[in-house]
Amino acid sequence: MIGLTIFTVATGRYLNFWTQLVESGEVFIGSSVRTQWLVLTDQVEKIPTEIVAKLGPRLTVIRINHEPWPYPTLKRYEYLQFVRNQVVGDYLMHLDADMIFVASINEADITTPLAESEITCISHPGYFRPDGIKRFEFYSRNPSKIIQDVVLYLKFGGVGTWERNSHSTAYVRRSQRKNYVCGGCWFGHTTKILAMASILEKNISMDLGNGYIAQFHDESHLNSFVANNDVNVLAPEFCFEPRYPQLKGLTAKILAVDKNAESKWLR
């Protein structure tokens, strides 16, 4: 059995999404994973009593203030540093509140990817492209994507939205723009995740001190870290959006359920 802490920021209306996330996790996370749910919210009193009773000591709630966008997402690494002493799992996963588990998750789903690297990120579902024959099949079914992707490669060096302002600590050089990851899910050994969060918190603080916010906030900074460090990257089973044709053939484990998902992911 492994211990897994699932860390989520759920202020404002996102607390409702988080309750669905927990309910689904309690169904699909197997007995080989002992889960700690660590949530930061401005609405502690609105957490359903049945969830509090069911989770008992496996629930850790920290009260924070709700802030205007984009600070709830931009400050997630700072929040993680703030609660680092509350983390009990040997493994630590960040999940956006607007996710649900839709397939079984067991010990091997967490530990196997980490055999290659101590941190695992997830390819952004909007920018993921399959390999080999599956990529050929995808482009043959979606010819407009060929033109779109060629333009992205010519203009930016890859399929994704890496930070292109060289004055930002999130900046990724053109030659490093290989595999764009999403900010909604990442996990790894707790010590390594906390070390990553410390680095990214400092980088964001430097940007803010210079009066700048990266184009895609915490996700931009995460992609800078991935470009410059040894990080394992999985296909989007852990951040699945069924409307994307490029995900055909993948098995969803965690689903993005935000009602604004299309406008959120398609850029």
Residue 116: its pLDDT value, please? Answer: 85
Higher pLDDT, residue 209 or 263: 209
Is it the case that residue 35 has pLDDT exceeding 70? yes
CATH superfamily entry for domain 2-265: Spore Coat Polysaccharide Biosynthesis Protein SpsA; Chain A (3.90.550.10)
Q: What confidence tens digit (pLDDT) does each residue in 138-160 have?
A: 999 999 999 999 999 999 999 99
* Cα–Cα distance measured from residue 93 to residue 194, given in angstroms and rounded to the nearest whole number: 11
Query: What are the strands, taking DSSP E only, across the chain?
Result: 2-9, 33-41, 59-63, 91-95, 99-101, 119-123, 181-189, 232-234, 254-256
How far apart are alpha carbons 62 and 70 in whole angstroms?
Answer: 20
Structure confidence at residue 72 (pLDDT): 92
What are φ and ψ of residue 119, in 5° steps?
Answer: -130, 135
Q: What is the identity of the amino acid at 70?
A: P
Residue 17 has pLDDT above 90, yes or no: yes
Average pLDDT over residues 75-101: 97
Using CA atoms, how far apart are residues 145 and 129, in angstroms rounded to an integer? Answer: 10
Residue 65's SS3 state is: coil
Structural domain boundaries of the chain?
Answer: 2-265
- Say whether pTM exceeds 0.85: yes
* Structural element, H or E, at residue 250: none
Residue whose C-alpha is closest to residue 6's, from 61, 75, 72: 61
Mean pLDDT for 75-89 is 97
By the 8 A CB rule, do 192 and 198 touch? no
262: helix, strand or coil: helix
E-assigned strands of 20-114? 33-41, 59-63, 91-95, 99-101
List the structure tokens of 136.
């050929």
